[in-house]
Amino acid sequence: MHSILLVDDEPEILAAWRLILERDGYEVGCASNGAEAMARTAAHIPDLIITDWMMPIMDGAELCRRLRALPGFAHVPIVVHTAVPPLECDVKNWDLCVRKPVGAERFLAMVAQLCKRTH
């Protein structure tokens, strides 16, 4: 079973995607900001990380930067799932950027493809 860490400051988004992913057979952990996500990844390295870009405490840009600096995360795909995409000039420390809203079918297909890469 693949494990996914969802990071978003909107509880409704976390709850909806968690339900969809768990129904599709994924093990799902959630964090409401980048600092919480870093704490969760210290105990368990997920197969995939899906993060919002704009969040309080630690945003998606800083989370991606910190994760990519850790040796254990070089192989872990990171998806930025956001309403406001990063600027072209931003350092790209993620694998894919998907604009909100995205349909469940497309989202699940993307997750399946990225999880295949990790195993």
Q: How many domains does the chain have?
A: 1
pLDDT of 92: 80
Domain carrying residue 104: 3-118
Share of the chain above pLDDT 90, in %: 69
Cβ atoms 17, 107 nearer than 8 A: yes
Q: Given phi > 0 = left and psi -120 to 50 = alpha, else beta, which region is 4? A: beta
Q: The domain that contains 83 carries what CATH number? A: 3.40.50.2300
Mean pLDDT of 100-105: 89
Residue 89 pLDDT more than 60?
A: no
Confidence of residue 118 (pLDDT cuts 50, 70, 90): low
- Model pLDDT for residues 22-81, shown as the tens digit of each residue: 999 999 999 999 999 999 999 899 999 999 999 999 999 999 999 999 988 888 999 998
Cβ atoms 93, 78 nearer than 8 A: yes
- Model pLDDT for residues 71-82, shown as the tens digit of each residue: 888 889 999 988
